[in-house]
Structure 1
């Protein structure tokens, strides 16, 4: 999803008091008692050849497209791991 520069400017100009948090529950002590810190895994830079249409499609999704590509590959890897057990 992309957002226009005009929309970003509009949102940035709103005062914090106008933000509606009513649908977001507060995080209480019970949440933090069971919370687990998850750190991102290290990335390895590689060169990979992709079909142009695949790369174009991901790039059209906007900023973070490489992270999304990684997420798709990781989901596939995990499904294959579960399948082979």
Structure 2
């Protein structure tokens, strides 16, 4: 649902960073670098979806595989 045209036309001065404070040298000094983190194992699967669902993801430029995976994970957590 992102308005890409509006976003691309904005200058840096128009971006609201009020909820994202600037990183200070002190914060950077205390940063922790993590390497080698492993993501959950993935399996390849053929999945047939309704055309309207696939088209919606394409029109909204959403990484559909990641999004659908996240939605399914959120669904199974309480079950």
TM-score tier (shorter): 0.5 to 0.7
**TM-score for both structures, normalised by structure 1:** 0.51
Q: Per the alignment, do residues 20 and 7 of structure 1 end up closer, same or farther by CA in structure 2, a change over 3 Å counting?
A: closer
More helix by share: 1
**Is there any run of 5+ residues in structure 2 with no aligned partner, and where?**
none
**Is there any run of 5+ residues in structure 1 with no aligned partner, and where?**
81-85
Q: Which has the higher contact order (CA 8 A, sep 6+)?
A: 1
Give the CA RMSD over aligned residues.
3.3
Q: Distance in 2 between matches of 1:3 and 1:40?
A: 31
Question: 1:33-73: per-residue Cα shift (whole Å, max 9, x none)?
Answer: 6x9776533432210233x2xx5235414222222111111
**TM-score for both structures, normalised by structure 2:** 0.53
Structure 2 partner of 1:83? none
Instruction: Give the length in aligned residue pairs.
Output: 71
